[in-house]
């Protein structure tokens, strides 16, 4: 049996997974009634716990110490968590090259496991992170091989497909899977994640504001003070809009067009003006994403008001669309800064 690639991090029980109550409750119910589906599609943004939940489901099903829950400490649990148990296997897409699972890998590694498992436990779980990348609709060879396996379910073998973009999977694959939805994580859960990762509290606010409810993104934005740096850059733009002449704005735009993290700066500026609009509408400090900038937020709220702040949010949103279409960043920014200036 080829070794599973352990691409999941730490001890995890279903009960450890926070902020996903409906999904976890559905899985616990299935375990308790012995109705675990033959194939699941865990659908939701990356970094919200889909893979942890998939491994935790396998662990709960196989743990002999605490059946239906998992203990995280016995020999079976330890092997699962180390990626060494033949009945709980994680198949990540290839990092390099075509990015899909090669059909040879499917034939040599995955299908035989599906055919002969479970090897040691009562059940087996085959987990596919980024299933839309492993089995993309436009490379139907691997997808069709998987489909064939899903169409001939073997008892006690469970497939768990994880995807942030399930619309990129074949409809025929999706329809074979029971869908479990994973949502964005609330701020309190993200604080817990950052705290556990040893991130200084001073970094939490900007990291969570930019996180889009995803733990992976919150951690990336906290790293090296990225979020705070982005906020500084965004506030420079805001200050230039208040005071700058059109000439100075074009100078700023030339500088910004070279910034590698421009989309993130724009996102942070959008968050700032959303807070300005909220503050102008009477939202209290605790309702702001950037609560520690409350003074500046409320000063701007008095100056420009909710309507102009939300007009700026709209202009910035259009900029994001233009970037996505690969518009010339310099020209796009010139237009944007002058347009923002008009709504000030
Ligand atoms: Zn155990």
Local mean pLDDT, 10-residue blocks, the chain (344 residues): 42 89 97 96 96 96 95 93 92 67 78 88 93 83 86 91 94 95 96 93 97 96 96 93 81 85 92 97 94 95 95 89 79 83 72
Place of tokens 């709960």: 60
Q: Transcribe 218-286 into DSSP letters.
A: HHHHHGGGHHHHHHHHHHHHHHHHHH--HHHHHHHHHHHHT-TTHHHHHHHHHHHHHHHHHHHTT--GG
**Rounded to whole angstroms, how far apart are CA atoms 281 and 295?**
15
Distance 40 CA to ligand 1 centre (A): 23
Distance 16 CA to ligand 1 centre (A): 14
Per residue in 90-128, pLDDT (tens digit) is: 988 766 555 667 777 788 888 888 888 899 989 999 999
Distance 78 CA to ligand 1 centre (A): 7
Distance 118 CA to ligand 1 centre (A): 17
Place of tokens 């909710």: 306
Distance 23 CA to ligand 1 centre (A): 22
Distance 324 CA to ligand 1 centre (A): 47
Distance 9 CA to ligand 1 centre (A): 17
Distance 47 CA to ligand 1 centre (A): 25
Which ranges in the chain belong to alpha helices (H)? 21-32, 50-62, 75-81, 103-105, 111-116, 131-134, 140-151, 171-174, 187-196, 204-209, 215-222, 226-243, 246-257, 262-280, 294-324, 329-342
Query: Contact at 8 Å (CB) between 33 and 190?
Result: no
Place of tokens 């040691």: 120
Distance 164 CA to ligand 1 centre (A): 30
Distance 203 CA to ligand 1 centre (A): 36
Distance 74 CA to ligand 1 centre (A): 4
Name every residue whose Cβ is closer than 8 Å to that of residue 22 and which is 6 or more positions away in sequence. Answer: 181
Q: For residue 14, what pLDDT is reported?
A: 95
CA distances, 35 to each of 30, 161, 206, 214, 334 (Å): 5, 18, 42, 30, 59
Phi/psi for 38 (5° steps) reads: -65, -40
CA atoms within 13 A on the CB side of 314: 8
State the chain's mean pLDDT as an integer.
Answer: 89
**Rounded to whole angstroms, how far apart are CA atoms 173 and 146?**
8
How remote is the C-alpha of 158 from its chain's centroid? Answer: 24
Distance 67 CA to ligand 1 centre (A): 8
pTM for this prediction: 0.85
Q: For residue 95, what pLDDT is reported?
A: 60
**Rounded to whole angstroms, how far apart are CA atoms 306 and 212?**
23
**Rounded to whole angstroms, how far apart are CA atoms 158 and 150?**
9
| Strand duo 39-43 + 88-90: pairing | unpaired
Distance 32 CA to ligand 1 centre (A): 16
Q: For residue 10, what pLDDT is reported?
A: 55
Q: For residue 71, what pLDDT is reported?
A: 93
Distance 101 CA to ligand 1 centre (A): 31
Q: For residue 1, what pLDDT is reported?
A: 37
Q: For residue 344, what pLDDT is reported?
A: 61
Q: For residue 97, what pLDDT is reported?
A: 52
Q: For residue 41, what pLDDT is reported?
A: 98
- Per-residue tokens: 332: 């796009």
Q: For residue 251, what pLDDT is reported?
A: 84
């Amino acid at each position: 049996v080829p070794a599973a690639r352990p691409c999941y991090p730490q001890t995890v029980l279903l009960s450890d997974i926070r902020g996903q109550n409906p999904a976890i409750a559905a899985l616990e119910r299935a375990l308790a009634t012995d109705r675990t589906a033959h194939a699941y599609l865990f659908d939701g943004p990356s970094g919200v716990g889909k893979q942890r939940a998939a491994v935790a489901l396998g662990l709960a099903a196989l743990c002999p110490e605490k059946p239906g829950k998992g203990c995280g400490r016995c020999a079976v649990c330890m092997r699962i968590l180390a990626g060494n148990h033949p009945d709980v296997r994680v198949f990540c897409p290839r990092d390099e090259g075509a990015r899909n699972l090669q059909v040879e890998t499917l034939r040599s590694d995955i299908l035989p496991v599906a055919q002969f498992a479970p090897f040691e436990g009562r059940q087996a779980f085959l987990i596919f992170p980024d299933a839309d990348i492993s089995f993309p609709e436009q490379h139907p060879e691997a997808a069709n091989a998987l489909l064939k396996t899903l169409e001939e379910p073997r008892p006690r073998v469970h497939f768990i497909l994880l995807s942030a973009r399930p619309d990129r999977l074949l409809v025929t694959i999706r329809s074979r899977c029971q869908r479990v939805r994973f949502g964005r994580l609330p701020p309190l859960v993200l604080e817990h994640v950052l705290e556990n990762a040893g991130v200084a509290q001073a970094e939490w606010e900007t990291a969570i504001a930019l996180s889009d409810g995803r733990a992976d993104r919150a951690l990336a934005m906290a790293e090296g003070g990225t979020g705070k740096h982005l906020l500084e850059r965004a506030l420079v733009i805001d200050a230039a809009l208040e005071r700058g002449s059109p000439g100075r704005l074009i100078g700023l735009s030339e500088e910004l067009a070279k910034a590698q993290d421009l989309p993130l700066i724009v996102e942070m500026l959008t968050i700032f003006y959303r807070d300005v609009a909220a503050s102008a509408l009477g939202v209290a400090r605790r309702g702001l994403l950037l609560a520690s900038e409350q003074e500046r937020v409320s000063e701007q709220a008095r100056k420009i008001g909710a309507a102009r702040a939300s007009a700026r949010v709209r202009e910035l949103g259009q900029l994001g669309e233009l970037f996505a279409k690969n518009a010339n960043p310099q020209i796009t920014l010139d237009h944007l800064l002058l347009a923002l200036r008009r709504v000030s």
